[in-house]
Amino acid sequence: MYHSNSIIYTCLSLIVLSLSTAVLAESNNPPSQQPSSNSTGFKESAAETKLRLGHGDPVAGKAKAGMCTSCHGEDGNSADSKTPKLAGQYGLYIEKQVHNYQTGLLSHQLMGTMAAMVSDADLPDIAAYFASQPMMKGERPSNNAIGKNLFENNDLPRMMVRCKNCHGDTGRGLHPGNPIFPVIGGQHKEFLLKQLLQFKEGVRNNSPGGVMNTTVHRLTDAELEALADYTSGL
- Of residues 72 and 29, more confidence is placed in 72
What confidence tens digit (pLDDT) does each residue in 135-150 have? Answer: 999 989 999 999 999 9
Q: State the average pLDDT over residues 17-21.
A: 44
What residue type is 215 in one-letter code? T
Provide the CA 206 distance to its chain's centre, in angstroms: 12
pLDDT band at 154 (very low <50, low <70, confident <90, very high): very high
The correct CATH number of 6-37+138-232 out of 3.40.50.170, 1.20.58.100, 3.40.50.150, 1.10.760.10 is 1.10.760.10
> For 227, what's the count of Cα atoms within 13 Å in the CB-facing half-sphere?
25
| pLDDT for residue 42 | 52
Task: Give the fold, CATH level 3, of 41-131.
Answer: Cytochrome Bc1 Complex; Chain D, domain 2 (1.10.760)
Residue 30 pLDDT > 50: no
Q: State the average pLDDT over residues 158-182.
A: 91
Angle between helices 46-53 and 123-131 (to 10 degrees): 140
Mean pLDDT of the chain: 85
CATH topology match: 6-37+138-232 vs 41-131: yes
Residue 177 pLDDT > 90: no
Per domain, the residue ranges of the chain are: 6-37+138-232, 41-131
| pLDDT for residue 13 | 43
Alpha helices in the chain (DSSP H): 6-26, 46-53, 58-64, 66-72, 91-103, 109-116, 123-131, 145-152, 164-167, 189-201, 211-216, 221-232
Do residues 131 and 53 make contact, with C-beta atoms less than 8 angstroms apart? yes
Of the ranges 9-13, 166-170, 178-182, which one carries the lowest mean pLDDT score? 9-13
Residue 201 pLDDT > 60: yes
Q: Which residues contact 93 (CB under 8 A, 6 or more apart)?
A: 179, 180, 182, 183
Angle between helices 221-232 and 145-152 (to 10 degrees): 80
